[in-house]
C-alpha cells in the first residue's frame, strides 16, 4: 500500500521541516511562522524582501501574499524540483513524529480528528496564484493548441474563459521505485487545463499530446499537479451550479468544454471513478443528467452515480454507439448542437433496481 500524505500530515514536525527547506522564521503570529518566501514558483519580481510567507503550525498549510498557498505536500514537491506526489510524500514522512499517546487518549483524539476531517480537508486544498498560468495561456496562439481545440469542438471564447493553455516542452518527472527513478524524466507537448474551485486556482491537468506515439508507458494521457483535489471537487462546478437548465455530468473535462461551447452547462468527475467527496456536490444539482462513456468504466460511472443519488433525481443518456465513445465525439458531426440535444432528449430515469 502506498504511503499517503494525509495519513501522517498531522504528526509532521514543523521545525524539522522548516529546517530542511531552509526557511528562516523571522516572527510568529497566531500560530504561524512568518518569514521570506522561498519563491519556488518565481513569482516575486525581486525576491521576497519583507517576509510575505507563513506556515501554519497546527493546520500544516502555507500561504504567501504573492504565491497563494497550499499544504506541506505541494510545498515539498516544489522544493524537490517538481518531484511527483509519491516522491514528496516519502520525503515528508521522515519528519513525522512517533505517537506515544495512551490508548484512551488516542481514541479520544481520533474521534476529534474525524469530527474535524471534512473542514480541515477543505482548508488544505492547494491553491495557486493565477499568474503561474501566464506562460501556458500564451500558448493559445500556437498551431498545436488551435488544432486540439478545434478537434474537440471547443471555441476560442470557451478556451479563453477557462484559461486553457499549452506547453510545448512540459516536464513530467519519472516515477520512483526503490528510491531511484525508473526512467528519464519526460518532456513533451501538452494542453494545460486549469481547475478553479470556489474562485481559486487549485491546480491544473496536463492533457499530453502525441500520447502513445512517443510517450513512456508510465505516462498517463492526463496527469495533474501535486495533490490535485479531484476526489473532493468537480470540474466547472462554480459555473454549472448557477444554471437553471439541466446539467450534464461527464467523465472527461474536454467534453465539458465542448458542451459549454454549445451553451449546455456541464461538469466532470475527472474520470469514470466517482469518489465519495464528489457525491455531496452532485446532490446540489436539481436536475442532473449523466452521460457515460461506452465502455466498462462508463457503466461503473453510471452505477456509482445512481447508487448515490435519490431515485428520480438523475437521468441517464444512453451511450453513443462505438466502443469507448463519449458525448464529446459529437464534435465531429455536421451539426453538433442538434446531435447533442437529440441525445439529451433520449435521457431517461432508470429504476434503481437496474443498478
Can you tell me the distance from the alpha carbon of 65 to that of 44, in angstroms, rounded to the nearest whole number? 10
Residue found under cell 471513478: 273
Q: Does any domain span residue 229? A: no
- Are 86 and 142 within one domain? no
CA-to-CA dists, residue 8 to 3, 38, 52, 332, 340, angstroms: 9, 24, 27, 48, 46
Find the domain containing 10 and state its range.
Answer: 5-124
Q: Which helix (H) or strand (E) holds 258?
A: helix 253-261
CA-to-CA dists, residue 324 to 272, 294, 327, 336, angstroms: 12, 5, 10, 19
Average pLDDT (327-334) is 94
Q: How confident is the model at residue 109 (pLDDT cuts 50, 70, 90)?
A: very low
Average pLDDT (253-271) is 96
pLDDT value for 116: 41
Residue 171 has pLDDT above 70, yes or no: yes
- Are 342 and 246 within one domain? yes
- Are 215 and 241 within one domain? no
Q: How confident is the model at residue 327 (pLDDT cuts 50, 70, 90)?
A: very high
CA-to-CA dists, residue 200 to 38, 129, 194, 203, 291, angstroms: 22, 8, 10, 9, 27
pLDDT value for 192: 97
Can you tell me the distance from the alpha carbon of 132 to that of 142, in angstroms, rounded to the nearest whole number? 19
Q: Of 200, 224, 248, which residue sits at a domain end? A: 224
- Are 113 and 188 within one domain? no
> What is residue 66's three-state secondary structure?
coil
pLDDT value for 213: 80
298 and 319 in contact (C-beta within 8 Å)? yes
- Are 284 and 315 within one domain? yes
- Are 279 and 302 within one domain? yes
Q: Which helix (H) or strand (E) holds 75?
A: helix 72-79
Work out the percent of the chain whose per-residue pLDDT is above 90: 43
Residue 46 has pLDDT above 80, yes or no: no
62 and 70 in contact (C-beta within 8 Å)? yes
Average pLDDT (200-225) is 89
Q: Which helix (H) or strand (E) holds 117?
A: helix 103-123
Residue 339 has pLDDT above 50, yes or no: yes
The CATH number of residue 94's host domain is 3.90.580.10
Can you tell me the distance from the alpha carbon of 216 to that of 227, in angstroms, rounded to the nearest whole number? 22
Within a 13 Å sphere around the CA of 141, how many CA atoms are in the beta-carbon half?
Answer: 3
Within a 13 Å sphere around the CA of 24, how many CA atoms are in the beta-carbon half?
Answer: 6
250 and 276 in contact (C-beta within 8 Å)? no
The DSSP 8-state label assigned to residue 298 in this structure reads H
The CATH number of residue 208's host domain is 3.90.980.10
Render 241-257 in DSSP notation, one character per residue: TT-SS-EEEES-HHHHH
Spatial strand order of the sheet with 288-290 comes to: 266-268, 247-250, 288-290, 314-316
- Are 220 and 248 within one domain? no
- Are 204 and 165 within one domain? yes
Q: How many CB atoms lie within 10 A of CB 41?
A: 16
| Least confident window among 148-162, 198-212, 281-295, 339-353 | 339-353
The CATH number of residue 346's host domain is 3.40.1360.10
Instruction: Give 150 or 352, the one with higher predicted confidence.
Output: 150
Q: How confident is the model at residue 106 (pLDDT cuts 50, 70, 90)?
A: very low
Total tally of structural domains belonging to the chain: 3
Strands (E), the chain: 27-29, 32-35, 53-56, 61-64, 68-71, 127-128, 165-172, 176-177, 180-181, 186-197, 200-208, 222-224, 247-250, 266-268, 288-290, 314-316
C-alpha cell at 255: 467534453
pLDDT value for 107: 47
Q: Of 124, 159, 177, which residue sits at a domain end? A: 124
pLDDT value for 120: 42
Amino acid at each position: 500500500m502506498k504511503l499517503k500524505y494525509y495519513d501522517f500530515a498531522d504528526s509532521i514536525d514543523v521545525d524539522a521541516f522548516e529546517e530542511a527547506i531552509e526557511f528562516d522564521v523571522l516572527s510568529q503570529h497566531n500560530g504561524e511562522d512568518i518569514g521570506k518566501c522561498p519563491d519556488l514558483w518565481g513569482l516575486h519580481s525581486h525576491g521576497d524582501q519583507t517576509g510575505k510567507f507563513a506556515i501554519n503550525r497546527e493546520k500544516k498549510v502555507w500561504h504567501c501574499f504573492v504565491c497563494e498557498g497550499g499544504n506541506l505536500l505541494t510545498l515539498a514537491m516544489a522544493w524537490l524540483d517538481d518531484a511527483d506526489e509519491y516522491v514528496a510524500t516519502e520525503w515528508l514522512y521522515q519528519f513525522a513524529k512517533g505517537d506515544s499517546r495512551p490508548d484512551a487518549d488516542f481514541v479520544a483524539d481520533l474521534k476529534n480528528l474525524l469530527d474535524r476531517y471534512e473542514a480541515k480537508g477543505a482548508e488544505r486544498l492547494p491553491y495557486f496564484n493565477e499568474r503561474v498560468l501566464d506562460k501556458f495561456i500564451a500558448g493559445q496562439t500556437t498551431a498545436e493548441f488551435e488544432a486540439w481545440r478545434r478537434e474537440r469542438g471547443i471555441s476560442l471564447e470557451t478556451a479563453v474563459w477557462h484559461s486553457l493553455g499549452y506547453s510545448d516542452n512540459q516536464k513530467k518527472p519519472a516515477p520512483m521505485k526503490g528510491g531511484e527513478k525508473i526512467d528519464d524524466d519526460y518532456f513533451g507537448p501538452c494542453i494545460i487545463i486549469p481547475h478553479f474551485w470556489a474562485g481559486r486556482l487549485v491546480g491544473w491537468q496536463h492533457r499530453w499530446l502525441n500520447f502513445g506515439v512517443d510517450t513512456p508507458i508510465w505516462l498517463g494521457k492526463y496527469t495533474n499537479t501535486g495533490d490535485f483535489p479531484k476526489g473532493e471537487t468537480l470540474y466547472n462546478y462554480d459555473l454549472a451550479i448557477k444554471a437553471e437548465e439541466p446539467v450534464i455530468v461527464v467523465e472527461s473535462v474536454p467534453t465539458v468544454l465542448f458542451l459549454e461551447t454549445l451553451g449546455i452547462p456541464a461538469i466532470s468527475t475527472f474520470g469514470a471513478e466517482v469518489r465519495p467527496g464528489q457525491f455531496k456536490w452532485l446532490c446540489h444539482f436539481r436536475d442532473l443528467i449523466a452521460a457515460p462513456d461506452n465502455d466498462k468504466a462508463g457503466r461503473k460511472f453510471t452505477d456509482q452515480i445512481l447508487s448515490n443519488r435519490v431515485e428520480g433525481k438523475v437521468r441517464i443518456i444512453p451511450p453513443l454507439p462505438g466502443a469507448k465513445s463519449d458525448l464529446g465525439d459529437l464534435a465531429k458531426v455536421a451539426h453538433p448542437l442538434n446531435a447533442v440535444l437529440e441525445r439529451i432528449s433520449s435521457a431517461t430515469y432508470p429504476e434503481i433496481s437496474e443498478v
